[in-house]
Amino acid sequence: MWKRIALAVAVVIVLGLVVLAVSLRSDYQRQAETIYFNGNVLTMDDSLPRAQAVLVRDGRVISVGDSESILRQQTPDTVLVDLDGKTMMPGFIDAHSHVDISAFLHSMIDLSGFTHKRNSDVWATLKAAVPDYEKGEWIAGRGLDPILTADLRTPTRKKLDRIAPDNPLVILSQTLHNYWANSAALEAAGITDDTPDPSDASYYGRDKAGRLNGEIVEQAAFEPIKQAYLDATPKKDLLASFAETMRQYAANGNTTVVSAGLTSDQKVMFWLEQNLSAEQPILLGQLLNRVGLFPSREPFPRHYIYVRPEMTELLPDNPDNGDDSFRVLGVKLWYDGSPYVGSAYLSEPYKKSELTLEDMDLEPGHTGEPLISVPELTAAIEKYNAAGWQLIVHAQGDQALDDVARAFESAGRQLDLHPYRDRIEHGVLMRPKQLMRMWDLGVSPSFHINHLYYYGEALEDSILGRQRTDMALPVRSAGLAGIPYSLHADQPMFESKPFHLMYTAITRRSAQGSRYGSDESITVPEALRAMTIDAAWQIRAEDKLGSISPGKYADLVVLDRDPLRTPMPQFRDITVLRTIVNGNEVDLSGSADSPTASPAH
Ligand SMILES: [Zn+2]
């Protein structure tokens, strides 16, 4: 299917290039010079932490101050926006997310443990959704989660055949390590009882007679199903869901989103992401938009990208690529996996429990293992940093973090790593000593703090035990050592909600109310820095983003409450009322023609 698109693209380019070159479609209108006044402005700029008004012109903050002095700078054309005492802040930076997977999952049926506490609820939701699909149409569900849906029974092929006898049906687990398919889906993907398993780690589940039971483990085995599903999904729907996904990030207050490793190596997906966020539309994007394949451009969050090492064909020639709205920053590497499937690499074994021994199928004494060797990681750090690229390294277990620290230290003997600001992703069982070792080389962490909120009890009771759960995610230790850090939700694992992340880092409370390692709690101002100016530092953009300061981009949010004056239980319910990227109001309503800032005279 993508080949056909590529062919269509080529034809359209040839036919359309000349015409379009002289009549380039004008981009979305940049908002006029605007003064936001009468607000409670938290600038995150130490030289003027609080203000009332902000003057924005050409996408930049021009001046910040009290309402009176800023309003004096208005011209007859200036749009005035009365903030009515509401709080304005710099927009949030989501330092680690997955835009393409989020878009891919966007239209699937939600079967997750966030919304389904009982096994029977999961299957009731799925059964109720099936009649909405036409015969033969693909049905996909997402988020199956044996931890949050405690009595979950994973489905068999037979069960899925009964639920959807006339449709290909595929279900994705919350961790995206396991999948389940019915007979029609397996058939559509060309998978039979005779299909060989891609590897010992990625395979098709089978019964004793060797017949497919519908379970699919890991990405390589899932690939044919994914392809069949994508080929059958109307491209327009899939591509439009990218725009919807970006709008959702903005509605949560994110003005910059960082993709931590693209999942698709399809150039057309990359072009789409580029076209949605880049300062100017790309020519190809305009062409594809004309033929109805690409959604139209609107103001959307900035999008920065790390590519996977096996997809370095997506790496531009130069780290100085793109523009400040869309850029490839470097490469994402994985050193270990996830604590919920036993692939986080620990120094001491996983706790023995029903969850680890039966549901996760781990041997007693299991510690996980690294995905690559220390010399391989060292070589990769040297290679990409020497070429000017930044590296971010997924590492969750304490043994993984020890190894990763060693690799950085080896690489640091060959090359001064400080300019690259390489990063550790998630850092669940990071020890303060490991933090310091890496910070000596300029390497800082981005913490996956929601582990505590959603899986605190599972980590405590079944996976790590109390002591290790208390020590997990040492956010305050990083702050005390003067290390900049960010917080992330790893969407689609958890929705990218800044106030929710900050709430968890501040309280270290789980959804059920348990509190883990209260000495690692941070303050509200520290949490706000992690989501703004310090995250900007990590993506080497602190001179342009992360605070409301003259000369920086006008990336702003307006909130219904002041985070510095909101009591903790309500903190995570603080609502984003408007999101402004590069001086442009993002349409959070989802309709293309809703009004932007109305002049208030
Ligand atoms: Zn991730």
CATH of the domain at 51: 2.30.40.10
Q: Which of 529, 549, 569 is the C-terminal boundary of a domain? A: 549
CATH of the domain at 210: 3.10.310.70
Nearest 5°: the CA angle 276, 527, 543 is 55
pLDDT for residue 27 is more than 80: no
Residues 338 and 203 in one domain: no
Q: How far is the CA of 330 from the centre of ligand 1 (A)?
A: 15
Strand partners, 36: 54, 81
Q: How far apart are CA 271 and CA 273, in angstroms?
A: 5
Q: How far is the CA of 488 from the centre of ligand 1 (A)?
A: 9
Say if 262 falls within a structural domain. Answer: no
Q: Which of 505, 526, 549 is the C-terminal boundary of a domain? A: 549
Which residues are CB-neighbours of 576 under 8 A, at least 6 positions away?
Answer: 251, 252, 253, 557, 558, 559, 588
Nearest 5°: the CA angle 328, 333, 339 is 130
Q: How far is the CA of 108 from the centre of ligand 1 (A)?
A: 20
Q: How far is the CA of 85 from the centre of ligand 1 (A)?
A: 37
> In this structure, which residues have their CB less than 5 angstroms from ion ligand 1?
260, 490
Q: How far apart are CA 320 and CA 322, in angstroms?
A: 7
Residues 69 and 122 in one domain: no
How many separate helices (H) and strands (E) can be counted in the chain?
21, 24
- Which of 138, 134, 180 lies closest to 159, judged by CA? 180
Residues 160 and 53 in one domain: no
| Mean pLDDT over each residue of the chain, to the nearest integer | 92
Q: How far is the CA of 347 from the centre of ligand 1 (A)?
A: 22
Say if 485 falls within a structural domain. Answer: yes
Q: What is the DSSP string of 28-94?
A: PPPPPPEEEES-EEE---TTS-EESEEEEETTEEEEEE-HHHHHTT--TT-EEEE-TT-EEEEPEEE
pLDDT for residue 253 is more than 80: yes
Q: Which of 202, 232, 262 is the C-terminal boundary of a domain? A: 232
Residues 75 and 164 in one domain: no
Residues 361 and 452 in one domain: yes
Strand partners, 331: 307, 391
- Domains identified in the chain, total number: 3
Q: How far is the CA of 303 from the centre of ligand 1 (A)?
A: 15
Beta strands in 353-450 (DSSP E): 390-395, 423-426, 444-447
- pLDDT of 399-424, one tens digit each? 999 999 999 999 999 999 999 999 99
pLDDT for residue 56 is more than 80: yes
Q: How far is the CA of 332 from the centre of ligand 1 (A)?
A: 9
pLDDT at 419: 96
pLDDT at 18: 46
Global pTM reads: 0.89
First-last CA distance in the chain = 53
- pLDDT of 329-359, one tens digit each? 999 999 999 999 899 999 999 999 999 998 8
Q: How far apart are CA 470 and CA 456, in angstroms?
A: 9
Residues 66 and 127 in one domain: no
pLDDT at 13: 57
Residues 42 and 115 in one domain: no
- pLDDT of 515-563, one tens digit each? 999 999 999 999 999 999 999 999 999 999 999 999 999 999 999 999 9
Q: Show the tokens assigned to 429.
A: 């069982």
pLDDT confidence tier of residue 589, bands split at 50, 70 and 90: confident
With DSSP H G I counted as helix, E B as strand and the rest as coil, what are the percentages for the chain, rounded to 5?
Answer: 35, 20, 45
What number is the average pLDDT over the span 123-132? 96
What number is the average pLDDT over the span 314-318? 92
More confident residue, 265 or 399: 399
Which residues are CB-neighbours of 46 under 8 A, at least 6 positions away?
Answer: none
Q: How far is the CA of 493 from the centre of ligand 1 (A)?
A: 8
Say if 477 falls within a structural domain. Answer: yes
Say if 343 falls within a structural domain. Answer: yes
Say if 282 falls within a structural domain. Answer: no
| Phi/psi at 433 (5° precision) | -65, -40
Residues 68 and 137 in one domain: no
Q: How far is the CA of 260 from the centre of ligand 1 (A)?
A: 6
Say if 6 falls within a structural domain. Answer: no
The length of the chain is: 601
pLDDT confidence tier of residue 28, bands split at 50, 70 and 90: confident
Q: Are 9 and 287 in contact (CB under 8 A)?
A: yes
Q: How far is the CA of 392 from the centre of ligand 1 (A)?
A: 11
Residues 401 and 537 in one domain: yes
Residues 205 and 340 in one domain: no
Say if 15 falls within a structural domain. Answer: no
pLDDT for residue 593 is more than 50: no
Q: How far is the CA of 358 from the centre of ligand 1 (A)?
A: 26
Q: How far is the CA of 490 from the centre of ligand 1 (A)?
A: 5
Residues 387 and 457 in one domain: yes
Q: How far is the CA of 425 from the centre of ligand 1 (A)?
A: 8
CATH of the domain at 393: 3.20.20.140
pLDDT for residue 598 is more than 80: no
- pLDDT of 210-226, one tens digit each? 999 999 998 889 999 99
Give the structural domain span for 180: 99-232
pLDDT at 591: 40
pLDDT confidence tier of residue 1, bands split at 50, 70 and 90: low
pLDDT at 9: 60
pLDDT confidence tier of residue 36, bands split at 50, 70 and 90: very high
Say if 560 falls within a structural domain. Answer: no
User: Residue 277 belongs to what H/E stretch?
Assistant: helix 267-277
Residues 40 and 139 in one domain: no
Q: How far apart are CA 282 and CA 274, in angstroms?
A: 8
